[in-house]
Chain A
Amino acid sequence: MMKLDGNAMAGDLREIFAFDVTAAQYTCAGCGHAEAIGALMLWGQEMGRVARCPHCDDVVLSLVHAPGRVFLDVRGAVRLELPLAGS
């Protein structure tokens, strides 16, 4: 399976969060690059979603679905900036 854009995990994220995280800005822990979550490079659909920084290829976040639960790892982001009003 080839890579997709971070935007393609919007549905999985909206199942966890009450707002749309793909429009939020991440700051990459690896290289400091800041951009929309929707602009991440998305890999590995089968075992889980692995979203990498388009600048340095480091993993910014990963999301794994298990029966009845979901694991979200955001270690690769030092910060998330979320718009609050009028999304």
Chain B
Amino acid sequence: MARAALPGRLTWRAATLAEARPETPTARTLVFDVPDWPGHLPGQHVDVRLTAPDGYRAQRSYSIASAWPPGGGGPPGGGGKVELTVQRLDDGEVSPYLTDVLEVGDQIELRGPVGGWFVWRETQQNPVLLVGGGSGVVPLMAMVRSRGQSRAKQPFRLIYSVRSQGDLLYREELPRHVRDDPGFDLFLNYTRQAPDGWPSPPKRIDVATINTHGWPPDFTPDVYVCGPTTFVETAADILVALGHDPKRIRTERFGGTS
């Protein structure tokens, strides 16, 4: 039963996997071809819907990792490529399918871009503090890419917390942004295992980490915190305790328990 889409409202559209790149042994970046992709803002996400042969459906949200337009200068509105990065949860229903089963040429359904609240716009003049835990770095990466691509001048700091070096997403690209994008700083926080010679032992993100590597509250930075729910709540509590205005802190909880 095909129902006509109401103008202006968002419906599901087909997306074809055009390319896939492993990021780590358990995470993969998926590049989808989405005809008529309207473009997006960094921080937005899409909803992904999978349908089994018996009609059973599962739906999940995934942040958009890529900047728009892609690669800095693709034809606007054309060549609708959207990149997602998915971290596999071994007992998960959807993520193992996206990381291990989906192949180039396969189709899924996608709805987006959505979410106009957890976004960074180039018109925002304040310094920016990004705090990401695990796959929570994905929408923050879109902001970093977008800033780099448009050569924006707002100072950016990214605090990225991961278990170990082997879990780092965008492992080669991040140092390139540090090198090529003036005013972009990166601090990596390892929670389980730090690389040899790393100055500090592995630990969960704490007051000292954010105090040292973030911006002082009187710089009134725009703060974006993203990751598993417990990570986001810990980081947001620390930020508020350090004196950051809760109104300037935007959060994106990914769910889960770790």
A residues near B (Cβ < 8 Å) are 1-8, 10-11, 14-20, 22-23, 36-39, 87
Top 4 nearest A-B pairs by Cβ distance?
A: A38-B117, A18-B8, A10-B114, A11-B47
Is the Cβ of B257 less than 8 Å from the Cβ of A11?
Answer: no
Least distance between B224 CB and chain A CB atoms (Å): 11
Q: A11-B61, A23-B116 are in contact. Are A2 and B257 (CB under 8 A)?
A: yes
Q: A2-B229, A14-B9 are in contact. Are A20 and B252 (CB under 8 A)?
A: no
Residues of B within 8 A of A38 (CB): 115-118, 250
Is the Cβ of B8 less than 8 Å from the Cβ of A37?
Answer: no
- B201 in the interface, Cβ–Cβ < 8 Å? no
B residues near A (Cβ < 8 Å) are 6-11, 45-47, 61, 111-112, 114-118, 229-230, 250-257
Is the Cβ of B61 less than 8 Å from the Cβ of A8?
Answer: yes
User: What are 19 residue pairs bridging A and B, where the CB atoms are less than 8 Å apart in the complex?
Assistant: A2-B253, A3-B253, A4-B254, A6-B117, A7-B117, A8-B61, A10-B115, A11-B10, A11-B111, A11-B112, A14-B9, A19-B8, A20-B114, A22-B117, A36-B117, A37-B117, A38-B115, A39-B250, A87-B116
Is the Cβ of A7 less than 8 Å from the Cβ of B8?
Answer: no
Among residues of A, the one whose C-beta sits closest to the C-beta of B7 is A18
Residues of A within 8 A of B230 (CB): 2
Residues of A within 8 A of B118 (CB): 5, 7, 38
- Contact residue among A5, A15, A18, A19 (Cβ-Cβ distance under 8 Å from B253): A5
Q: A3-B253, A8-B61 are in contact. Are A14 and B114 (CB under 8 A)?
A: yes
Is the Cβ of B114 less than 8 Å from the Cβ of A11?
Answer: yes
